[in-house]
Chain A
Amino acid sequence: MSVRVLKPGLLSSLQDGGRPGHAALGVGRAGAMDAPAWRLVNALVGNTRGEAAIECTLLGPTLRFDQPAVIALGGAAIVAHVGGVAIPMWTHCALPAGSVLTLGGIAVGCRAYLAVRGGFDVPPLLGSRSSDLHARLGHAHGRALRAGDVLPLGSAAAPPMRAGDEAIRMLPWSLDPQPWFDFRQRPLALLRGSHFDRLEAGSQERLYRARFVLSKDSNRTAGRLDGHTLRLQAPLELISEAALPGTLQLPPSGQPIALLAEAPVTGGYPRIGQIAAVDLPLLAQRRPGDTVCFRESTLDEALARLAAREQRLQRLLTVIARRLASSEEYSP
């Protein structure tokens, strides 16, 4: 009842909806960087309880399933195969016991998600199976997956397959990724931060007009933006306040830093902007070297977009559940 990691890929970790509610103890949320993609792959395998999936970064892992399993892939486009059979994305596939799933490189985007029916059943910590790599919480003290790791699957893992079936089977339909993956790399909605007014006039303008480049020093904690430095009118001495994902900080170097899923819960750098929560999954799919541009947004606009996205997502989740229920036999 488990999956063995044969090769770990570049940076693969278990992620779910994260660990809200513990920031007062110094524990951040972590969780899937591209949360809508994580929710959709779970829905595609019939998971409804926020099960943990594997978040793959740039290069995916190779895994062996010691039992039949139902899997789904989503997020950034990733090459996948079992033996010689290509595994498509945004649908689900039933794999026979002993399957070796090889996930390859990601050519566009940064993070792909692999869900398995029943979820990866490692012990939850503070209500979540997410690995917080920065705070070292979660599976194996919050480290990335390694070769040799054995991940147990949840009890709902076995698919409804006919006895003795050795074939890989796929659904006859898949999701259109277009609404759920930002192929055009649009400018991200940026709200003015507490200290935006303290930027030099030229820097205020540059923040919304410049093309920044995501630095290779970026990780799940923070994305560093290269290409342009920004200046404050005068140095600001601030006392630490709560920090949160999406905050665009300006340290003394002048290089903006966007806090991400594993952001520390407190911070003391000037907050020059706040990337709208609705656009954080877009930033999660930028890879080092990709362009990051901002456009000015308001709270009301961001909220309206968040509500609209949630409505679309809920509608799709309902449709997926209905179609899965009517195709339980996986007839070709």
Chain B
Amino acid sequence: MAPPIQFEALAEDALLLRFGERIDADLNDRVHAAMACLCQRLPALECVPAYASLLLRFDPLAWRGPHGEPGHRHLQAAVVDALDGHAAAAGASREVRIPVCYGGDGGPDLDDVAAHCGLRRDEVIACHTAADYRVAMLGFAPGFPYLLGLDPRLAMPRRADPRQRVPAGSVAIGGSQTGIYPDVLPGGWQLLGRTPLRLFDARRATPALLAPGDRVRFVAIDAGAFAALATERDA
């Protein structure tokens, strides 16, 4: 039996649903299931998922109860009602395959990660491509996915001196998480390689390549395949 959701009114237009306090795949699944349910049943809400919480943003002047009571209490009741009996069912998730050219210019920290973890380079790549990841949330920058599911053997702290410019497409490890830089950004994560895919493009019908709740697999490619895919992307 899952613990009850805690509600916290953060601001006039924001209600936070807390499912727990840990980075944990099961908790994160509950967040995504609740989001899927609320998006369908209360479409006027904006849902912002995180590891173990879901923020709802809404128009407080529109969400009034039948007797004019202010937004939050009425909204909280509507949320409880909408989730009742539905929150357990996680929606079917997409799997997205991400080609990555490991090492070389795109992965300057691959050797450091291997040394830190006591593995060979090819073992690091094998571990990183073997896992089944889940997009816990997008944040930091448009389209930046925080992925759960990193093999614990690959966990490695952030760099002591963060880089000012991490190239777009960099696939990286930060602590027990892995992620992909969607754009040129400052960052302290360890860079393993680079994907030629564009993680975020506001002009696309679906701007972010990945959505919260998606499953992700990394597929190793060589420099030739990377160049071919990059050319195709820019065509």
Q: Point out residues on A near B: beta carbons under 8 Å.
A: 20-27, 125-126, 135-137, 191, 193-194, 239-242, 244, 246-247, 264-266, 271, 274, 276-278, 299-300, 302-304, 306-307, 310
Contacts and interface: CB of A to CB of B under 8 A. Distances in A.
B106 to A, nearest CB: 21
Given A20-B46, A303-B12, A26 B70 contact: no
Interface in B36-56: 46-55
Contacts of A264: 139-141
Nearest to B182: A26
Contact of B46 (A21, A137, A278, A310): A21
B211 A25 contact: yes
B67 interface: no
B139 A240 contact: yes
B138 interface: yes
B121 interface: no
A277 B202 contact: no
A198 to B, nearest CB: 13
Given A264-B139, A299-B9, A244 B14 contact: yes
A36 to B, nearest CB: 14
A12 B21 CA distance: 41
A316 to B, nearest CB: 16
Given A26-B138, A26-B141, A277-B12, A241 B55 contact: yes
By secondary structure, the A interface counts as mixed
Contacts of A125: 202-203
B22 interface: yes
Contact of B11 (A26, A137, A239, A244): A244
17 contacts: A20-B46, A22-B207, A24-B46, A24-B211, A25-B207, A26-B140, A26-B143, A125-B203, A194-B16, A239-B22, A240-B50, A240-B137, A241-B16, A242-B50, A266-B139, A302-B11, A303-B12
Interface string B8-38: 1111111010000111000000000001000
Nearest to B213: A24
Contacts of A265: 48, 138-139
Contacts of B53: 241-242
B101 to A, nearest CB: 24
A239 B52 contact: yes
B48 A277 contact: no
Given A242-B16, A242-B48, A25 B140 contact: no
B138 A276 contact: no
Nearest to A306: B12
A216 to B, nearest CB: 21
Nearest to B138: A26
Contacts of A27: 142, 202, 207
A276 B57 CA distance: 14
Contact of A137 (B23, B35, B61, B142): B142
Q: Which of A22, A191, A239, A244 has the most CB of B within 10 A?
A: A239
